[in-house]
Copies of this chain bind each other. A is one copy, B any other.
């Protein structure tokens, strides 16, 4: 293993201090929260306008508190990113999925074969649709919507499922083109159950 020898992105990764103020603020806020700067932030920063649009889009789809849970949104990311063989997104969002779901096994299960993962039938239907949008969007038709509705998904939920699959379809292609590498920190995140906090005395 020689992460030092393999660049984190094939394209330029600017120094944070050289970036426009808004990018710098966003990146430093992430670093403060996570303890490290996820590669994607630096790998997109050489294109500030695209950076802004990318994260605005990302936040609009992933940081919502209604409809799909945040964990379910990450399930979609992991399943479709694995279909697209995107190392960065599977590893980084696999970490987030484990944390969101408080489940150390779920990300690997969904990445390898979501059909066998320990999820609910409703989540299975969600991922079936996400994978259809990922791989055969031209064949989506009204029966897909009826099936999702039968599992209780609203029209807004369905848009979210498809839009997340679409957005990461773009993200996966960018990351593969740039050979973005996930930070080593992501591989272990969410795999070790936290100690229960000691009872207050």
Contact = CB atoms under 8 A, between A and B. Distances in A.
Interface of A: 1-3, 5-6, 10-12, 47, 49-50, 52-54, 56-57, 59-61, 82, 84-87, 90-91, 94, 101, 103-106, 108-109, 111-113, 115-118, 133-134, 137-141, 145, 155, 159, 162-163, 165-167, 169-174, 176-179, 181, 184, 187-188, 191-192
Given A118-B3, A138-B84, A57 B47 contact: no
A90 B187 CA distance: 15
Contacts of A159: 11, 47, 177-178
Given A87-B112, A116-B176, A133-B176, 15 more contacts: A11-B159, A12-B155, A47-B159, A50-B163, A53-B54, A54-B57, A57-B57, A91-B108, A104-B187, A113-B176, A115-B138, A137-B172, A163-B177, A166-B173, A188-B192
Most buried by B among A103, A108, A191: A108
Contact of A105 (B52, B54, B184): B184
Given A91-B108, A115-B141, A137-B172, A61 B56 contact: no
Binding site of A, secondary structure by majority: helix, strand, loop or mixed? helix
A64 to B, nearest CB: 10
Given A11-B159, A56-B52, A56-B53, A137 B187 contact: no
Contacts of A11: 155, 159
B112 A86 contact: yes
A2 B173 contact: no
A84 B57 CA distance: 22
Contact of A176 (B57, B104, B138): B138
Nearest to A193: B188
A136 to B, nearest CB: 9
Contacts of A176: 113, 116, 133, 137-138, 140
A86 B137 CA distance: 9
Contacts of A145: 10
